[in-house]
Amino acid sequence: MGGPPLGAFSYRRYTVVTRFYGSEGPYTLAGRLTGDSLEGEVPFWSMSATGGLNPIEDIASSESLRGYPNGRFHEKQKVILNLDHRWQLPARKIFGQKGEPVIYPLGMDFGRIGPWNAWSLSTGAGILFNRTFMVRGILGYSPGYWLMHLAFGEDY
C-alpha cells in the first residue's frame, strides 16, 4: 500500500518458485518453474518486476527469458519454465583460485506472460570460484533477438 508522494496504490503479489535437478556424473538437468500474479492497483515498478525488468532478479533478461531484452514484458501474470543442460568440467586453478568450469550446452525457456507466449534458447559457460562466486557468460536467442549476457551468481 502506498500514498503521497508516490501515488495511491494497494496491491498483492503472489509468487511460487520450484527448482529441480537430476545428475548423472558430470551432467545435470536443472529446471525452475516460476509463477507470479499481481492483484489490485499495481505501481509501475512492481508491474515490470513481474513481466519486465526486475533490478534484483532481472526477470525479462538473463535469469528467466534469456533471449529477451530488459523490460520487454509488463504484465500482471507470468508462468515461466527454464530448463538447462549443464556439464561440469574437472576443477582447476584459475587466477590462483580453485575454479570449477561449467558448460551450458543448451538452455530452454518457455513462458506465458499475460496474453503473450514467449520462448528462448541459450548456450554459455561459467566458472565457479572457490564454490562461492559464479561468473557466467550466456548467449540467448528468441524470435527477433540475439543477446549476450555477463552475469554473476548461480542461475538457480
Residue 66 buriedness (CB in 10 A; 0-12 / 13-18 / 19+) = buried
- Provide the H-helix boundaries in 1-138: 44-51
pLDDT in tens, 27-63: 999 999 988 888 887 776 666 555 443 433 444 334 6
Residue 103 has φ and ψ, to the nearest 5°, of: -105, 135
Instruction: Specify the pLDDT at position 69.
Output: 75
pLDDT in tens, 104-115: 999 999 998 888
- Provide the H-helix boundaries in the chain: 44-51
Instruction: Specify the pLDDT at position 153.
Output: 80
| Least confident interval from 86-90, 119-123, 131-135 | 131-135
The model's confidence at residue 4, banded by pLDDT at 50, 70 and 90, is low
Instruction: Specify the pLDDT at position 70.
Output: 66
Residues 102, 49 contacting (CB under 8 angstroms) = no
Please identify which residue in the block is written with the cell numbers 523490460: 71
pTM value is 0.80
Q: Say how many CA atoms lie within 13 Å of 151 toward its Cβ.
A: 24
